[in-house]
Amino acid sequence: MKLPEEFKNRMRGILGMEYAAFERSYQEKSSKALRLNPSKAAEDFLERAPFALEAVPWAEYGYYYEEGFPGKHPYHAAGVYYIQEASAMAPAAYLGAKPHERILDLCAAPGGKTTQIAADMRGTGILISNEIHSARAKILSENVERMGLSNTIVTNETPEKLAGAFEEYFDRILVDAPCSGEGMFRKDPVAVEEWSPENVEICWQRQRRIIGDIWDTLKPGGILIYSTCTFNTKEDEENARW
């Protein structure tokens, strides 16, 4: 894989002596994982699963798998589990959703984090799962239906419009923001092709608009988790400080 030179130079500055190990990681085999749906997976599922599973430490119901094709199994179509990278399970785990809360998953498609949050809510409370792009909102709706979520409402709105309807309404908000996608390089060659310093600039400004628009929907004392799949400090640390 040929990484963009500007990206490599910036990562060298961030990682220092650890950069060589970082670059080697792109040649290593990536891990694969799934997350069980507690409302559909029987208690003895781990004993009779058609593929070997190993627990993901930071995610309840999350498991690594190495062999087999879980995405092609009838269990997947039935919503017994959701195929999701282990790292992608972290933001919803940090959100710490509880039963009977009001929660917003703002940039929700295709639905991995929404289905994880809903599992933590144990089918109670209200989960607003929003996706601004209509085609992706349709995919989100299909996954919500496949996983059998009964407390989830899928919306296709701008953050600004949601803010007008839900002032100080949510106990918790997850903003898994659209980003420059640097963390996707190993799995998605298109992310490498689309990366540019100019796109990074566009992304961090868009992310601030999103957070600014949605901030007032959070209850006083509520929790907002902001996450990206990029390494860029403008989109991550600088936005967090802002």
Q: Which residue of the set 107, 179, 203, 229 is catalytic?
A: 229
Is there a catalytic annotation at residue 229? yes
How are beta strands 54-55 and 62-65 bridged, if at all? antiparallel
Mapped to the 3 state alphabet, what secondary structure does 142-201 carry?
HHHHHCCCCCEEEECCCHHHHHHHCCCCEEEEEEECCCCCHHHCCCCHHHHHHCCHHHHH
Q: Which residues pair with 201 in a beta bridge?
A: none
C-beta separation of 140 from 131 below 8 A: yes
SS3 112: helix
Dihedral of the CA atoms 145, 147, 149, 155 (nearest 10)? -50
Distance from C-alpha of 65 to C-alpha of 7, rounded to nearest angstrom: 31
Closest CA to 173 of 118, 144, 214: 214
C-beta separation of 110 from 143 below 8 A: yes
Backbone angles phi, psi at 44, to 5 degrees: -95, 20
C-beta separation of 36 from 74 below 8 A: no
Whole-Å CA distances, 221 to 106, 168, 173, 196, 241: 19, 10, 12, 37, 18
**Annotated catalytic sites, by residue?**
229
